[in-house]
């Protein structure tokens, strides 16, 4: 997946995203990524042509659903039914809302974008092998990893990527927020 540099969200789309984000926060629904990250996910979803997957089922699912001009299938995955219900109750979500147990046994051959934010950062390390084996062996699948400011997660990601053919994209400057949180992106080659 080529990064949509030079194809930023329109001003009206950016305002719409900020309104969704503020409404999500007002309802006291958890968000674990920065507004900058959600903006990039909206831009990446806008240029995606295959299935887009939110591993973590949260506001990213809303973004992928709402900023989806190519009508890509959106899959929202969580280890928690309560998190899946939050997404379903926030928007009219007619896409796939599935548990990790179901997801790990499925394969979306047309996946083009995955936002990797499932579970706690410490638990997330356990999900890397399954996702890497399925999706880094396919060209063009972009995986955006949240919480790379956490040293244990960053080291675990670097270790987990060994042996997989991939290309890294430097998106720190596009996703870093005032708390120092940022994302990294890899693409299967």
- Residue 135 belongs to a domain with what CATH number? 3.40.50.150
- Per the listing, tokens 């051959």 go with 109
Q: Above 70 in pLDDT, residue 30?
A: no
In the chain, the number of structural domains is 1
Is residue 86 classed as helix, strand or coil in its secondary structure? helix
Is residue 79 classed as helix, strand or coil in its secondary structure? coil
Report if residue 85 sits inside a domain: yes
User: pLDDT category, 90, cuts 50, 70, 90?
Assistant: confident
Full domain range(s) for residue 146:
11-188
Contacts of 155 (CB under 8 A, 6+ apart): none
Report if residue 139 sits inside a domain: yes
Report if residue 95 sits inside a domain: yes
User: pLDDT category, 156, cuts 50, 70, 90?
Assistant: very high
* Cα gap 41→114, rounded to integer Å: 9
Report if residue 3 sits inside a domain: no
Report if residue 2 sits inside a domain: no
Report if residue 4 sits inside a domain: no
For residue range 103-129, what is the model confidence (pLDDT) as tens digits? 999 999 999 999 999 988 889 999 999
Q: What is the pTM of this model?
A: 0.90
């Amino acid at each position: 997946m080529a990064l949509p540099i030079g194809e930023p969200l329109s001003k009206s789309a950016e305002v719409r995203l900020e309104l969704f984000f503020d409404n999500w926060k007002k309802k006291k629904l958890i968000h674990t990524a920065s507004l900058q990250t959600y903006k990039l996910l909206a831009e990446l979803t806008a240029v995606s042509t295959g299935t887009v997957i939110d591993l973590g089922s949260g506001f990213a699912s809303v973004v992928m659903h709402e900023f989806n001009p190519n009508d890509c299938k959106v899959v929202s995955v969580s280890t928690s039914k309560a998190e899946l219900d939050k997404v379903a109750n926030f928007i009219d979500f007619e896409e796939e809302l599935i548990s990790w147990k179901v997801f790990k046994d499925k394969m979306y051959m047309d996946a083009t974008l995955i936002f990797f934010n499932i579970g706690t950062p410490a638990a997330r390390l356990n999900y890397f092998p399954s996702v890497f084996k399925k999706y880094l062996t396919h060209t063009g699948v972009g995986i955006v990893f949240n919480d790379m400011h956490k040293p244990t997660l960053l080291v675990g990601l670097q270790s987990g990527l060994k042996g997989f053919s991939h290309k890294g994209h430097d998106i720190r400057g596009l996703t870093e927020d005032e708390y120092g949180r940022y994302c990294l992106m890899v693409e299967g080659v």
